[in-house]
């Protein structure tokens, strides 16, 4: 893949890659490292991209990189006090509360929530990206919603 293509993809999708990596690490520095590593890997491989599939490929590379880092304990998933990054965009009190609740979820749940609700992938697409079964995606979405519901109390959670 030539440099021009990678730069174009970086300009277009670097924020999405960052948010997905942040949903795994909950650390802005590790997420920035992940963005750099994902695009370096993309540049070093001889890939032919299919039109309209770039975002899915980048999401898969990002998810695999993040899972590898967490598995090898190379990265820390600790939340820092000075952390001002947002998985959920906007500043309303409700969104800030949701941001804090998402930080408390395990990375496997944050990733599927991010890919489903923020990016808009269907469960079958998320299954391919995260290399799990579609039923695994449904299970993780269900468990994540239950965890959020118990943390929020009796408030209604959208059950999509």
96-115 residues labelled b (16+ CB within 10 A) or e (exposed) = eebbeebeebebbbbbbbbb
Counting the structural domains of the chain, the total is 2
Residue-range definition of the domain harbouring residue 128: 87-160
Domain termination site, one of 56, 79, 102:
79
Note the pLDDT tens digit of each residue in 59-97.
999 999 988 888 876 444 344 433 444 454 555 666 677
Shared domain for 109 and 75, answered yes or no, is no
62: domain CATH number is 1.10.1740
Q: pLDDT band at 102, cuts 50/70/90? A: confident
127: domain CATH number is 1.10.10.10
Shared domain for 73 and 91, answered yes or no, is no
């Amino acid at each position: 893949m030539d440099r021009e293509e990678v730069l174009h993809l970086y300009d277009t999708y670097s924020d999405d890659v960052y948010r997905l990596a942040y949903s795994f690490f909950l650390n802005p520095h590790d997420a920035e490292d992940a963005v750099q590593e994902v695009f370096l890997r993309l540049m070093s491989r001889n890939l032919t991209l299919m039109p309209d599939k770039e975002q899915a490929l980048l999401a898969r590379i990002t998810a695999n990189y993040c899972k590898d880092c967490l598995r090898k304990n190379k990265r820390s998933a600790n939340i820092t006090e000075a952390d001002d990054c947002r998985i959920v965009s906007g500043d309303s009190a409700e969104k800030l509360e949701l941001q804090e609740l998402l930080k408390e979820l395990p990375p496997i749940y944050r990733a599927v929530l991010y890919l489903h609700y923020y990016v808009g992938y269907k469960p079958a697409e998320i299954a391919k990206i995260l290399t799990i079964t579609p039923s695994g995606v449904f299970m993780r979405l269900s468990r994540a919603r239950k965890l959020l519901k118990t943390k929020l109390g009796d408030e209604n959670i959208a059950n999509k």
